[in-house]
């Protein structure tokens, strides 16, 4: 389960899709998709299989096909500026140097989509960022990573119901003793 820090968004989608019994993953929209329902809301989970710098092409293709406005799109991604295991949800905003978010902004023509920011921590020095982000989680990280991903899947009905604050609170409560 525990892999590269930059892939924590994909890891979250895998756990959500499994917990909520989504369809098997299949190739579509320059990525892989799984479909399901969470709390009565139809969900399309998309993992772009492009380079990170071009992931917006995959998101834009799916959004155009399903006629999804940006406010109906949620990106799950790693966040250097949050402590490991912490989570924040926000709509719009800057990319903080995240090339995947920058690509989505560019391809959708707006930054007005939801972001689930999952903290991976900062290595302390700018020159160590690339190695940190592209490196695998350490064995000591396994407990908090699994706890965070399980909490995200358990709280997903709140996110699907457009209750981001309640979603964040539930994730924090479920991970309180494990992070």
Rounded CA-CA distance 179/175 in Å is 6
Number of C-beta neighbours around residue 127 at 10 A: 8
Catalytic residue among 6, 20, 77, 98: 6
CA distance readout (Å), 151 to 20, 85, 118, 168: 13, 11, 12, 10
Rounded CA-CA distance 48/68 in Å is 17
In what helix (H) or strand (E) does residue 54 lie, and over which residues does it extend? none
122 is catalytic: no
What contacts 171, CB < 8 A, 6 or more positions away? 87, 148, 151, 152, 155
Kindly give the pairing relationship between strand 31-38 and strand 41-48.
antiparallel
What contacts 56, CB < 8 A, 6 or more positions away? 100, 102, 103, 104, 105, 106, 107, 108
Name the token pair of 48: 């772009």
The catalytic residues are 6
């Amino acid at each position: 389960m525990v892999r590269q820090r930059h892939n924590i968004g994909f890891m979250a989608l895998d756990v959500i899709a499994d917990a909520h019994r989504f369809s098997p993953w299949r190739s579509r929209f320059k990525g892989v998709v799984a479909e399901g329902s969470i709390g009565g809301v139809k969900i399309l989970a998309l993992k772009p299989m492009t380079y990170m710098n071009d992931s917006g092409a995959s998101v834009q293709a799916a959004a155009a096909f399903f006629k999804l406005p940006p406010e109906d799109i949620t990106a799950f991604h790693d966040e250097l500026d949050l402590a490991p295991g912490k989570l924040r949800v926000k709509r719009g905003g800057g990319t903080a140097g995240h090339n995947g978010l920058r690509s989505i902004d560019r391809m959708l023509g707006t930054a007005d989509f939801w972001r689930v920011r999952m903290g991976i921590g900062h290595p302390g020095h700018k020159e160590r960022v690339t190695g940190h982000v592209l490196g695998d989680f350490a064995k000591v990280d396994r407990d908090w990573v699994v706890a965070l991903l399980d909490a995200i899947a358990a709280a997903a009905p709140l996110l699907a119901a457009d209750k981001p604050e309640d979603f964040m609170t539930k994730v924090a409560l479920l991970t309180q003793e494990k992070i």
